Chain A
Amino acid sequence: MANRTSTAQRPNGATQGRICQFKLVLLGESAVGKSSLVLRFVKGQFHEYQESTIGAAFLTQTVCLDDTTVKFEIWDTAGQERYHSLAPMYYRGAQAAIVVYDITNQDTFGRAKTWVKELQRQANPNIVIALAGNKQDLANKRMVEYEEAQAYADENGLLFMETSAKTAMNVNDIFLAIAKKLPKNEQTTGPGGSGQGRRLVEGDTGAKTAGNCCK
């Protein structure tokens, strides 16, 4: 917010004050660490006993990338089976998705794959998908090999990192990687698309510009 205020007051900050807003959704089996990942990214915290999410939780975080401010609207969905029917509500309008699995649990990786498939089939075709193998700190109990996941990611054109919410490893990196990959110049907003990514141009509200574009 502070960012915006400063840009608003700058008269010719058209290039500097660009803010992109993106909707990002986290998917994955329950207890793989989606909420922990987000909590680490947004608040820098980690709770050993994170209570399970109901439905979906909403958080926002802003990251600065070169000259652009990227604002993430993060929907942290619940992993429990009963909430799966909710997921389309969130991933449909999303520009980015992080599919999380637990490297100590092979089943969660399988589940992650089905999520990826579902996203590819039903979500926005331009969606940026990242695969996160969480709980890297428990690498000694690893059940999913890094290479296996990397190969799968390459095959499907996914961003891939092994992360650890506990040690904060790769957490910010994966979000930043997504931010970089997101198309920031083209207008992603469909007409009336609620909550979709918007590009806000600040600092140039003068009549001249608008007038010219109308001419």
Chain B
Amino acid sequence: MGSETDSIVIEDSDDSLLDFKELNDLEYDIPPVVPPSLESVLWDMESEEGSDSTSLHSLHSLTQKFRSMLYHGILQGISSQVVSAGERVGAGLPTVITNSSKFVAVGTSHGFVLAFDSEQKLCWCCHDLTTTDQGAISALAFNLDSTRLLVGYERGYISMIDAISGDVIRRLPDAHAPQSAVLHLRFTSLNSLGLSGDSAGCVFSLTFNRRLGVRTWDSKCLFSGARGEVCIFEPLVQGHDIQILGPNVLVAMATLSKIIVVSIKPRLKILFTQQLPRVATTLPVIAWQIVSVGKVLQPVLAWGRNTELNYTRVITGINSKLRLSPLRTVRLSYTLCALHWLGPRHIATLDTSENLRLIEVRTQRELELLELTSAGLVYSSAHFKALALGGGVSEAFALAGERACYNSISSRGDQLLVLGTKAVHLVKLRTWPERLTYLSEQGRWAEALNLAADEGINREKGTTMLLEKFLLSLNQNGVDRDSLTAAVNCCVKLNKIDILCNDLWEAISADQYTLEWYYTLLTDHICNGALYFLNPSVAQALVTHLEHKNPMLLENVLLSVDLSCLDLNQVLKICRIKNLYEAWIHITTKTMGDYISPLTEFIMELTPDNHRLGNTLLVYVSACLAGLGYPHGKIPERDVPRIKHDILRCLETVHSINSMENEQSYPYLRALLKYNTRECLNVVELAFKEIEFCGEMGLLQRQRLVQILLQIVTPPEFDDSQVIILACFVSRLVTSNNLNAEEGILDTVIKSLTDMVGKPLSLRDHMEREQAWIDLLNADKLKHLSLEQLLKMALESKCYKVAENVYEKQKVFASILDCYLKDKVRHTEVFGYILKHIDDSERCIRQQFVVHFKTLVSIDSKKTAEVVIEHFPQLAEEFCEILESDPDLLFKFLSEIVYSDIKLSPRITEEFLRLLCVKNPSLVYSYVKLNLCRVEEALKITQQYNMHASTAFLLEQSGDFQGALSLLLKNNMTDAALDVCIRGSEHLDAKGAQQVWLQLLKHPATLEGISMRELLHSAAPHVSPSQLLELVTDASLGDIKVLIRGMLADCQHDMQMLNTTLKLVGYDLHHGLAKSLCLHGKGVSVQSVLCNLCQKPINSVLENDEETAAIWGCGHSFHTSCVSALDGSLNCPQCRVSATHSLKSKPSTPSRRERVSDNIRLRPDLEGHF
């Protein structure tokens, strides 16, 4: 019955509302998931009203300036009726709101219940006279079919109302614990089963029956508040058509500490519990939603408290066993106050500052924020504290309930009803078409179009409509950049080429500035590969635009756009004028399949410095010969052989079609070779790897092509290096057996390889030439020439590497070294050769080394020296003689060898010293220090070259400090002089030292470089103070001051030292005393009272007062007389324990000889008194 009326109502409302602006065909684009509900109707009415009412409009503009997901409006009909009920019949303020798919019910503080239908008309108003004493309505709940309404009062009364007529049909005065307010009422999916919760924290199940026409009810406690007070519970309500859970009825409950999910049917069973964050001032929040996960529908429970939000899903296991598994936990930056799903993909949270946030569940992204402060949200904290019943609620419950708004926000589907003190607010999630409409109505085209582009792929109609609307607005209002960008983006993304190229283009083509921007956008999209096809008109205009602006960009565009939309006549002409070779080749080859014309078209323009064209053509030819498309892509498989053949034939053409009379043969290949011989040959070489050049036929092809190449590349048109490059190329082919070594070919090649070259070759060419020659030689392709001839040719053309190879073959090793030395490029490699073969007696390296020694040194003295040091140390002297005539080389050689371990005669080392003095005086001193030379000789040399430092050093060596000092002082080398003095004072006797120092001090230049104080300090030990003072007296006042201050400082320092020492000594003394005091303060136990020597009791002797006893730390005791009779040793006579002997006159105070124990008591106060 319920479902039937449902559909009727909906159809009615649908029809009646069809004319409204909001319910346009956009709606039809979305498949209806649920039958239209009350909310959709309300929403449509509201938006209608909203557009009329200015106040609401201002609200819009305030709250929704930058967002479009959430609609926020006031349900004017309901609000005004509630207010007027309060004013006219004394219904009081609204306290509770709930809604079903058909009705909205509002409860008031004076026990009135107002029910409204889908058109916000008041259906009925119920004010039960029997319950006037029950106070405010505190809870309301519709059943799933919208046929029954449960009403709960703050004094605990519950009644059931027929939702259609408004009559009370059941009264439940004592359904739950007495003296507690009803806080929650809910129907489960079953009409006969309801749930109630009260301020005692208990949950009751209410069962409704109808026996023999009499309506009965029964209540049962499900959860007692004694075990934890339930703040909120929410049964999982599934529609009649959805049967995921079978017969199970799930209820989620939240106490102050835990979340509990129980199944109450068919059996009561706890399925899930988890701790909630303990925050005393906030209530837990829970909300169910059935979400489709893939193709399966799954109930998901969102629950949380304070700043924590959790998602838990219900999984139906095997045997339809239910299981809950946590999905995720989210930390929020605000405190949760309410939580409601808005459709299966979004969740709305309300924080304590009354901000409603829309969150996308999958990403947990906060999409929008809506301030609800202005709504004046109703809180039911009074019910939570059960104020009407005089309290009696636990403190924790009352504290947590401070912000309870469970019953003032009601959600269904994607809408939320918010009960404010003055009005009922509707918050709704806009659907995609609604958002488009909303944004476009506000003129926010950029946002609307971007939204359409993002999600419009499957929603053709909405997007098209939007674009058309946009175009209309364009015609009227003009366009801004952002919206144009968005529109183009949208068209490209949704492949609306028609709109992009016709309507949009025409709409903006009047404005040059916009048009340019449009072209920029198109270019971007084309270059990104997003846009492939254009309308020919637009393509034409775009090409014209780019032709002047950016030809390179034009080339890119041409390469990536569909060719059938191009005006080829225009484009190809532009390409020719702007030299867009790639685009030209691309278009000609792709459209006409003409692969020859790129060659024939451009070849006359190819000059050696037109690199762009040259390289383009080379790559093009190479690509074609390899069967690849140019500049990218592939040639259709079946065309490949034809194209390869065409290109090859074109290259081998003797004369072009429109040849002039003076045209040279093979114009195309010739032009390419002329442009860049090496690269062109590389292209050919690459092509030779293709299948066309394999096998018998291929060999002939190759042969033919090589013949042609040899014909073309001839002097004087081609220079020597180009000829040689070709020769190298051919010889590579010959040696790798890719070409038959025909006599003719070979001769030409060898001739070009071996010919004398007029112009010097580049290094690379020369090396390649040598390599080619050697390869031919090694491959035995030069059999018709004798080795002698080859050698002669090689030497003539300075191909020493070739010569070396010939020598190797002839085994004339003696000349090999020569080859290296003559070859300027390779002469450094000679050392490698020497070291490699040094032990090979056949090659006589040693002799050659000696012969060419001079040259070798001039090539690399370091390496030569290394060889000498390593292999010919004994010949060092001989080598030096060889170099005698050339001091430069000798110096170089010696400077390498002198520092090595080789023992050299003093003659050579002195010779080196002499050379060093001439060539690098700065190193003389360090060299002299090595003591490699005879002192006298060295002295002579250094004196000769005025190397004073070295001379002084040598003098010092020979013991002549005086001489060294005077020399240094004469040359003002005071630092060195000071060093000499310091060293000298160590070696000389006191008198000599004093003399040296005085000499230094008396020198006038001394004080320039060295501070007086330092000087006096150094001198003080060697010179008597009186003499020093004498020296000082004739110094200036400033110097004396420094001197005296230095002396005073010294004195002070000495005194301080003395003090410290005294202190240390005193401390030691005090420490010793303390130790001994400690020792004497301890008792010693005596092992026996007998003297260990005389074995008589000690006491017996002690009658005599003069007798004393001696006791050691080891416990042995003796008569003093007995001990003294032994010897003077202080050790215990018994066990030889050493101890300081101490005697006491009284045996009653035995002396103490123990080792130092750890508890020495120090007397700090006595410290320092000794």
The residue in chain A whose Cβ has the minimal distance to the Cβ of B576 is: A54
Contact B536 A58 (CB under 8 A): yes
List residues of chain B with CB within 8 A of the CB of A85.
Answer: 591-593
**Shortest Cβ gap from B312 to chain A (Å):** 41
Interface residue tally of chain B, by bracket?
35 or more
**Interchain CA distance A123-B594 in the complex, whole Å:** 23
List residues of chain B with CB within 8 A of the CB of A53.
Answer: 569
Contact A8 B569 (CB under 8 A): no
The residue in chain A whose Cβ has the minimal distance to the Cβ of B540 is: A58
Contact B591 A198 (CB under 8 A): no
Contact A57 B570 (CB under 8 A): yes
**Interchain CA distance A198-B502 in the complex, whole Å:** 11
> B569's contact among A1, A78, A195, A200, by CB below 8 Å, is which?
A78
Decide yes or no: A205 and B592 within 8 Å by CB, A86-B568, A195-B535 being known contacts: no
Contact A54 B475 (CB under 8 A): no
Is A56 among interface residues, defined by CB-CB distance under 8 A?
yes
Decide yes or no: A57 and B468 within 8 Å by CB, A9-B475, A73-B536, A207-B25 being known contacts: no
The residue in chain B whose Cβ has the minimal distance to the Cβ of A206 is: B24
Is A65 among interface residues, defined by CB-CB distance under 8 A?
no
Decide yes or no: A54 and B573 within 8 Å by CB, A85-B593, A211-B24 being known contacts: yes
List residues of chain A with CB within 8 A of the CB of B567.
Answer: 56-58
Contact B536 A195 (CB under 8 A): yes
Is B28 among interface residues, defined by CB-CB distance under 8 A?
yes
Contact A210 B465 (CB under 8 A): yes
Contact B592 A211 (CB under 8 A): no
> A55's contact among B502, B533, B569, B593, by CB below 8 Å, is which?
B569
List residues of chain A with CB within 8 A of the CB of B591.
Answer: 55, 85-86, 89
Contact A1 B506 (CB under 8 A): yes
Residues from 79 to 121 in A contacting B, C-beta threshold 8 Å: 82-83, 85-86, 89-90
Residues from 541 to 582 in B contacting A, C-beta threshold 8 Å: 563-573
> A73's contact among B28, B498, B537, by CB below 8 Å, is which?
B537
Is B1071 among interface residues, defined by CB-CB distance under 8 A?
no
Is B1047 among interface residues, defined by CB-CB distance under 8 A?
no
List residues of chain A with CB within 8 A of the CB of B502.
Answer: 21, 200
List residues of chain B with CB within 8 A of the CB of A55.
Answer: 568-569, 571-572, 587, 591-592
The residue in chain B whose Cβ has the minimal distance to the Cβ of A205 is: B468
**Interchain CA distance A14-B99 in the complex, whole Å:** 46
Contact B28 A195 (CB under 8 A): no
Residues from 17 to 38 in B contacting A, C-beta threshold 8 Å: 18, 21, 24-26, 28
Is A4 among interface residues, defined by CB-CB distance under 8 A?
yes
Residues from 989 to 1031 in B contacting A, C-beta threshold 8 Å: none
Contact A211 B465 (CB under 8 A): no
Is B892 among interface residues, defined by CB-CB distance under 8 A?
no
Is B469 among interface residues, defined by CB-CB distance under 8 A?
yes
Proximity string of chain A (192-215) to chain B, C-beta cutoff 8 Å, 1 when within and 0 when not:
001100101000010100110010
Proximity string of chain B (520-538) to chain A, C-beta cutoff 8 Å, 1 when within and 0 when not:
0000000000000101110
Is B279 among interface residues, defined by CB-CB distance under 8 A?
no
**Interchain CA distance A57-B533 in the complex, whole Å:** 17
Is A5 among interface residues, defined by CB-CB distance under 8 A?
yes
Contact B25 A214 (CB under 8 A): yes
Contact A90 B592 (CB under 8 A): no
List residues of chain A with CB within 8 A of the CB of B535.
Answer: 195
Question: Which residue, B564, B569, B597, has most C-beta atoms of chain A within 10 A?
Answer: B569
List residues of chain A with CB within 8 A of the CB of B766.
Answer: none
Contact B592 A86 (CB under 8 A): yes
**Interchain CA distance A200-B475 in the complex, whole Å:** 17
**Shortest Cβ gap from B13 to chain A (Å):** 17
List residues of chain B with CB within 8 A of the CB of A195.
Answer: 535-536, 564-565
The residue in chain A whose Cβ has the minimal distance to the Cβ of B24 is: A207
Contact A8 B475 (CB under 8 A): yes
**Shortest Cβ gap from A4 to chain B (Å):** 6
Proximity string of chain A (50-79) to chain B, C-beta cutoff 8 Å, 1 when within and 0 when not:
000111111010000000000001011010
**Interchain CA distance A82-B385 in the complex, whole Å:** 95
**Interchain CA distance A24-B469 in the complex, whole Å:** 31
Residues from 498 to 521 in B contacting A, C-beta threshold 8 Å: 498, 502, 506, 509
**Shortest Cβ gap from A24 to chain B (Å):** 12
List residues of chain A with CB within 8 A of the CB of B1137.
Answer: none
Interface residue tally of chain A, by bracket?
20 to 34
Decide yes or no: A4 and B568 within 8 Å by CB, A86-B591, A198-B498 being known contacts: no
Question: Which residue, B25, B26, B497, B593, has most C-beta atoms of chain A within 10 A?
Answer: B25
**Interchain CA distance A85-B25 in the complex, whole Å:** 48
Is B472 among interface residues, defined by CB-CB distance under 8 A?
yes
Contact A205 B465 (CB under 8 A): yes
**Shortest Cβ gap from A133 to chain B (Å):** 24
The residue in chain A whose Cβ has the minimal distance to the Cβ of B594 is: A82
Contact A54 B533 (CB under 8 A): no
List residues of chain A with CB within 8 A of the CB of B412.
Answer: none
Contact B536 A211 (CB under 8 A): no
Contact B465 A58 (CB under 8 A): no
**Interchain CA distance A157-B264 in the complex, whole Å:** 84
Residues from 17 to 75 in A contacting B, C-beta threshold 8 Å: 21, 53-58, 60, 73, 75
Contact A82 B592 (CB under 8 A): yes
**Shortest Cβ gap from A131 to chain B (Å):** 23
Residues from 154 to 194 in A contacting B, C-beta threshold 8 Å: 194
**Shortest Cβ gap from A2 to chain B (Å):** 10
Contact A205 B572 (CB under 8 A): no
Question: Which residue, A76, A78, A207, has most C-beta atoms of chain B within 10 A?
Answer: A207
The residue in chain A whose Cβ has the minimal distance to the Cβ of B29 is: A214
Decide yes or no: A205 and B536 within 8 Å by CB, A57-B570, A58-B567 being known contacts: no
Is B357 among interface residues, defined by CB-CB distance under 8 A?
no
List residues of chain A with CB within 8 A of the CB of B509.
Answer: 1
Contact B25 A211 (CB under 8 A): yes
The residue in chain B whose Cβ has the minimal distance to the Cβ of A189 is: B498
**Interchain CA distance A147-B136 in the complex, whole Å:** 103
List residues of chain B with CB within 8 A of the CB of A200.
Answer: 502
**Interchain CA distance A86-B854 in the complex, whole Å:** 77
Is B732 among interface residues, defined by CB-CB distance under 8 A?
no
> A4's contact among B506, B533, B563, by CB below 8 Å, is which?
B506
Is B843 among interface residues, defined by CB-CB distance under 8 A?
no
List residues of chain B with CB within 8 A of the CB of A60.
Answer: 537
List residues of chain A with CB within 8 A of the CB of B21.
Answer: 207
**Interchain CA distance A26-B537 in the complex, whole Å:** 17
Is B862 among interface residues, defined by CB-CB distance under 8 A?
no
The residue in chain A whose Cβ has the minimal distance to the Cβ of B18 is: A211
Proximity string of chain B (59-73) to chain A, C-beta cutoff 8 Å, 1 when within and 0 when not:
000000000000000
List residues of chain A with CB within 8 A of the CB of B468.
Answer: 205
**Interchain CA distance A89-B26 in the complex, whole Å:** 39
List residues of chain A with CB within 8 A of the CB of B592.
Answer: 55, 82-83, 85-86
Contact A194 B572 (CB under 8 A): no
Contact B537 A58 (CB under 8 A): yes
Decide yes or no: A57 and B564 within 8 Å by CB, A86-B592, A195-B536 being known contacts: no
Is B422 among interface residues, defined by CB-CB distance under 8 A?
no
The residue in chain B whose Cβ has the minimal distance to the Cβ of A194 is: B533
**Interchain CA distance A196-B275 in the complex, whole Å:** 67
The residue in chain A whose Cβ has the minimal distance to the Cβ of B567 is: A58
Is B1141 among interface residues, defined by CB-CB distance under 8 A?
no
Contact B472 A8 (CB under 8 A): yes
List residues of chain A with CB within 8 A of the CB of B573.
Answer: 54
The residue in chain B whose Cβ has the minimal distance to the Cβ of A210 is: B25
**Interchain CA distance A23-B568 in the complex, whole Å:** 16
**Interchain CA distance A85-B595 in the complex, whole Å:** 13
List residues of chain B with CB within 8 A of the CB of A211.
Answer: 18, 24-25, 28
**Interchain CA distance A89-B593 in the complex, whole Å:** 13
**Shortest Cβ gap from A100 to chain B (Å):** 16
**Interchain CA distance A5-B472 in the complex, whole Å:** 10
**Shortest Cβ gap from A86 to chain B (Å):** 5
Pairs across A and B, CB under 8 Å, 12 listed = A4-B506, A5-B475, A54-B568, A55-B568, A58-B536, A58-B540, A78-B569, A82-B592, A205-B469, A207-B26, A211-B25, A214-B25
4 more A-B residue pairs beyond the given contacts A9-B475, A54-B569, with a C-beta to C-beta distance below 8 A: A54-B573, A58-B539, A78-B568, A89-B591
* Top 3 closest pairs, chain A to chain B, by CB: A55-B568, A207-B24, A57-B569
